[in-house]
Amino acid sequence: MAAREWDGPHDVSTVQPAHPQSYEALFHETGALACTLRLRDAPIREALSDPRLERAIGVIYRPETELQSHYFHASLPLQFDEYVYFDASHAVCAAAAA
C-alpha cells in the first residue's frame, strides 16, 4: 500500500516483477517461497557480496519510473546482518484501502 505522490491517496498496488539484475530476482529464481539468511556467515557473505540492484518501496510507489525511483545498487552483506525474503506478500492495511 502506497501513494503515487506525496500527500496523495494511498492505493494497494500490484508490484512489478523484480528487475533481472536485482537481489529480489536472484532469490525468486531459487523457487523458495520464503527464507532467512545470516549474511555474516562467510560462504553467504562471499556469494552475495557483489553489488546488485535492491528495490525499496516506501510510502510512494511509482511503477512507471520504478528503475529510477525504487532501485539502487547495494551489497546485502555490507548493509544487513540478516536477510528475510518473501516471494509474495499482501498489503498490511488492505481493509483501510477499501
Q: How far is CA 21 from CA 27, 50, 67, in A?
A: 11, 11, 11
The Cα 79–Cα 40 span in angstroms is 11
pLDDT (0 to 100) of residue 15: 87
SS3 79: helix
pLDDT tens digits, residue range 23-57?
999 999 999 999 999 999 999 999 999 999 999 98
DSSP H or E run through 54: strand 52-55
The Cα 53–Cα 16 span in angstroms is 15
